[in-house]
Structure 1
């Protein structure tokens, strides 16, 4: 990931190693998921690091804009299903913790005063991938980007506020179809339905993202912060109100036989056979 800003300002490293990276130059923070070998699939360690990085942005008055991105070929492929499957009957307790960290990270992005631009390439899937996209204020996607919900495919329910944010972005009927069927939504469709703000050729993704970031960084920060707050409040902020119910539902469903079957089917690359138990 490059940003074409090398000649404009020195880049200060705020978090230089681990599953989430954070640096800053010219008022623009780059917050990057850093598990490229796992398609940035989220683990407990990544989720904790993500929350800590977002909170570091909250406490830094020099940050005017945050660019949220994923290292490697994919933005974020969702939860680490192998880690989930390894928990067996302890999965509900594990997911209760994972969901909590994901939810507070998504809520913290929404409540961050600085605008958040998601830079998306490859897959943005699951509560983490799609959820973080929905929690961003603006989204610049490569023309090869693909979006998928994925929760019901493994016998679970959406989290990260997606049950509210997705339908606010694309409407109830489209959100229901996307969440029920788990079909892949391509970049051009995502643009047409309002899931993303811009679609550009992949080779232009950094250039367009950081051009937009520089434009926002040059704006009036208090006015942008107030506008962002009003916009999110204007969607009902049912987002935060729904988080406890989402977390309870995900934890409850993860203890079912269908959830175990769904995870096994994804890992085994076969169709699941759900029994309703």
Structure 2
């Protein structure tokens, strides 16, 4: 039995009687590209999970063909000179959401299909406790590609997941990783056939939900505490850096290049 707690809007939320909550990003026409509105809604839903003792495991997924393609570049580009202020707010909500997922007592499983890219898509993957991806899933940071820097704590979480050298390669050269490559790098927990994502993810979630919740929460806290202090210190620096870079000519060129589907021409300004 599934209780639909939020059935419309940019983020959907339901809870099964077995304690498995499902959070779904719901802007499929924009590849679940995030906006301030979506990020505020996501943070609110994660806080609801914090406050509901029935929630024993959380699945984070995306509606439509993609998990999340990052920020909505068309919305970003429309802000013009106001982009730094807009991104300052959006980055703050993204960071609050990522931190809330990490601090959540219940384990979080990202169920990834299509693209997981940008600060939001890639960052939420890095903030999950488990990541189950389809064979056709693709992963990319993408920040430097549009003249920006990583956020959502990725400068800390990705390094912990894959190591400094691999993180440097992923963030500076922006490869599009296949699911197999992401698994080999240590970014993922498991890769499954495309038609098995929902079943495999829910099986894992139910297994976790059936465990002793206090033991699960304590173990998760112990594991994340090793990176928590570094993450907390880095979030404000990430936010400041993203805001500063968003005001540069290179950032505007990067966004325009993505929208126009061409290679950017960066000038260093």
CA distance in 1, matches of 2:116, 2:249: 26
Match of 2:3 in 1: 12
- Structure 1 residue runs of 5 or longer lacking an equivalent are 1-9
Deviations 1:4-52 (A, max 9, x none): xxxxxx1111111100001001100000000111110001110110000
Match of 2:94 in 1: 102
Q: What is the aligned-residue RMSD (CA, Å)?
A: 0.7
TM-score after normalising by structure 2? 0.99
CA distance in 2, matches of 1:230, 1:14: 31
Partner of 2:221, secondary structure, is helix
Does residue 1:87 correspond to 2:79, yes or no?
yes
Match of 2:104 in 1: 112
Q: How does 1:1-277 map to 2 (within 5 A)?
A: 10-25=1-16, 26-235=18-227, 237-277=229-269
Partner of 1:237, secondary structure, is helix
Partner of 2:223, secondary structure, is helix
CA distance in 1, matches of 2:45, 2:6: 8
- Structure 2 residue runs of 5 or longer lacking an equivalent are none
TM-score after normalising by structure 1? 0.96
CA distance in 1, matches of 2:157, 2:111: 18
CA distance in 2, matches of 1:46, 1:73: 18
How far did 1:240 drift?
A: 1.7
CA distance in 1, matches of 2:191, 2:211: 23
CA distance in 1, matches of 2:20, 2:115: 24
Q: 1:236 to 1:106 in 2, by over 3 A?
A: closer
Deviations 1:194-220 (A, max 9, x none): 100000001111111011001000000
CA distance in 2, matches of 1:239, 1:125: 20
How far did 1:236 drift?
A: 5.1
Count of aligned pairs? 268
